[in-house]
Amino acid sequence: MTSDYALEIRGVRVTYGGIVALDVDEMAIPRGQIVGIVGANGAGKTTLLDVISGFTVADQGSVLLDGEKELRKTAPSSRAKRGISRSFQGAELFPSMTVAETVRTGLHHRLGTASVFGAALGAPWTRRRERAILREADALIELMGLLTFYDKLIGELSTGTRRIVDLTCALAQQPRVLLLDEPGSGVAQSEIDALRKLILQIRDTVGCTLVVVEHDIPLLRSISDLMFALDAGRVIARGSADEVLSDPAVIAAYLGTDQTAIARSGGRGTAEAPA
C-alpha cells in the first residue's frame, strides 16, 4: 500500500437542487484509526458516509481508497468487495432469526451461498463451506461477547445488543473500512460502555479503519483518534476530539452556547467537568 490513508476525499461536492449537502476540500482518513464525525442536523454527515459507500455519487471530486483506487463512480457492491462496509443501525436484521443464524447469513454474503444442486446432492465442497461458515460465525459471536444470546431471536434483544449483532454482521464482511452511522442511537446509557469497548476492540483486533457519525458526544469523544466537524457540508474543524470540541466555530455551529452541552462534550473553559 502506498498511502498512510485508508480514504482521501478531495474536492467532493454533492448538491440537491440548490442545497449544498457536502463540499469537502480535503479529508484524509488515516488507516487503522477511529475517525469521528460531528455536526448539527443537516450538516452533511450521512451524505459523507453515502459518498464513501457509493450510495450517493458526488457531482465532482475524488474518493481515493488506499491512495490509489478512485472510487467516485464505483458501485456500492464493488466498494463492498473492496472492503468498505456499512452498518445501518440494525434496520435490516430479521426479528424472527436467531443471533447465530443472522451472523451466518452475514457470512454467506461474503463466502457465497451453495448452489441448489450442490446443496441438494450434499456435495463435499458445499459441506466444507457450511462448516467453515459455522466455525467463523461462532468465532465472531464469541469475539463480540454474544455467546449468551446465541439462540435468542433478534426481536427479543435490546437495541444495544441488536446494534452489536449488526456490527458483527458488518465485521463478517472482513471490512478494511467500517462506516458506522450513529451506533449509539437508541442504545440505553447502561449499554453504551459495552458498545464503546467493542468499537475500540474492532479497531485493535480487526485492525480496520472506522468512520463514526455520532450525536452522543461523550461516546464519540472517548473513541475518536481523530475528529472532523462539518457545518453546511464543509469541514470547519479537524484534530483531536478535545481540539475539535473546544473550537469556537464548532461550539457556535453545533454545541451552541449551552454550557451543559459544552461541558458534556468535554469542551474547555466550562464550569462543569467533562463527562
132 binds ligand ATP, rule: CB under 6 A: no
Distance CA 92, CA 165 (A): 11
196 binds ligand ATP, rule: CB under 6 A: no
- Nearest approach, Cβ of residue 92 and ligand ATP (Å): 18
For ligand ATP, which stretch binds (CB under 6 A), given 5-13, 39-47, 89-97, 147-155? 39-47
Q: Which of 12, 34, 45, 217 binds ligand ATP (CB under 6 A)?
A: 45
Cell numbers 450521512 correspond to what residue? 46
Strand-pair category, 234-239 with 5-16: unpaired
42 binds ligand ATP, rule: CB under 6 A: yes
What letter represents residue 213's amino acid? V
43 binds ligand ATP, rule: CB under 6 A: yes
For ligand ATP, which stretch binds (CB under 6 A), given 40-48, 61-69, 99-107, 140-148? 40-48
Nearer to ligand ATP, 16 or 94 (CB): 16
Cell numbers 452556547 correspond to what residue? 257
Q: Which of 44, 183, 184, 266 binds ligand ATP (CB under 6 A)?
A: 44
Q: Which of 1, 4, 11, 16 binds ligand ATP (CB under 6 A)?
A: 16
184 binds ligand ATP, rule: CB under 6 A: no
Nearer to ligand ATP, 136 or 214 (CB): 214
For ligand ATP, which stretch binds (CB under 6 A), given 45-53, 69-77, 121-129, 263-271? 45-53
For ligand ATP, which stretch binds (CB under 6 A), given 13-21, 95-103, 193-201, 249-257? 13-21
For ligand ATP, which stretch binds (CB under 6 A), given 24-32, 38-46, 83-91, 253-261? 38-46
Cell numbers 474547555 correspond to what residue? 268
- 138: number of CA atoms within 13 Å, CB side? 5
Strand-pair category, 5-16 with 60-65: antiparallel
Burial 169-203 (b: 16+ CB within 10 A, else e): bbbbbebbbbbbbbbbeebeeebbebbbebbeebb
41 binds ligand ATP, rule: CB under 6 A: yes
**Rounded to 5 degrees, what are φ and ψ at 49?**
-65, -40
154: Cβ contacts below 8 Å, ≥ 6 apart = 93, 94, 95, 96, 97, 98, 99, 102, 162, 165
Other Cβ atoms within 10 Å of 50 Cβ, number: 21
- Number of residues engaging ligand ATP in binding (CB under 6 A): 11
Q: Would residue 19 be called left, alpha or beta, if left means φ above 0 and alpha means ψ between -120 and 50 degrees?
A: beta
- Nearest approach, Cβ of residue 41 and ligand ATP (Å): 3
47 binds ligand ATP, rule: CB under 6 A: yes
46 binds ligand ATP, rule: CB under 6 A: yes
Task: Name the site residues for ligand ATP (rule: CB under 6 A).
Answer: 16, 19, 21, 39, 41-47
